[in-house]
Amino acid sequence: MRCKSLGPRRSALKPPGVINIGTLGEISAESVIQIGYLNEVFYLVIVDTEILINAPIDRCFDMARNIELHTQTVWKHTKERAIDGTTKGMIGKGEFVTFQATHFLIRQKLTSKITEYNRPYYFVDEMQKGVFKSLRHEHIFEEQDGKTLMRDKLTFEAPLGILGLITEKIILKKYMKRFLEHRNNQLKLMAEKM
């Protein structure tokens, strides 16, 4: 997929896979996808994480979709809690949950719906309401010799155009990656104790 330059045309001067963001510099195109639709351009950022858990795939899958465990495994300072939809137990296909949490000192709500579901290998939650323009979180599970490789693919777009792209790359991508890695490490500790 081609990424469109956001600044003056300097394609001969910049290495392949780099997007010019004007006077603010350049960013790698690896983590940005450009999608054009009706003369609008959306820039999506992708965050990938993976962790090997010494526990069966069924256990890891069910723990990852357990709402109460979710709120126990995220950063404590976010004070995240489920306030609507499926607020306890395991969420399933077609169900939704609204979380309320504090990120960047702002109390906010995010409603996600499980749009794809194939137990114990894969499920997807997609934002229905929230601060992002879009957010899709793929949860992928692979069995490896009695252990489970748990992977997350988070694809999102912030709501601020070019400012959003810069924010996504500089701040949000790192923040979201750290958020997922912390949660997954906590889930690993819990799954391996059982």
Structure confidence by residue, pLDDT tens digits, 45-68 = 899 999 999 999 999 999 999 999
Q: Which of 183, 185, 190 is nearest to 73 (CA)?
A: 183
The answer to whether the CB of 16 falls within 8 A of the CB of 6 is: no
Residue 2, SS3? coil
Q: What pTM did the predictor assign?
A: 0.76
Calpha distance 110→11 (Å, rounded): 39
Strands (E), 10-90: 18-20, 26-28, 32-37, 40-53, 81-85
Predicted local confidence at residue 165, as pLDDT:
61
3-state helix, strand, coil in the chain (%, to 5): 30, 45, 25
For 68-107, the pLDDT digits (tens) are 999 999 989 889 999 999 999 999 999 999 999 988 788 8
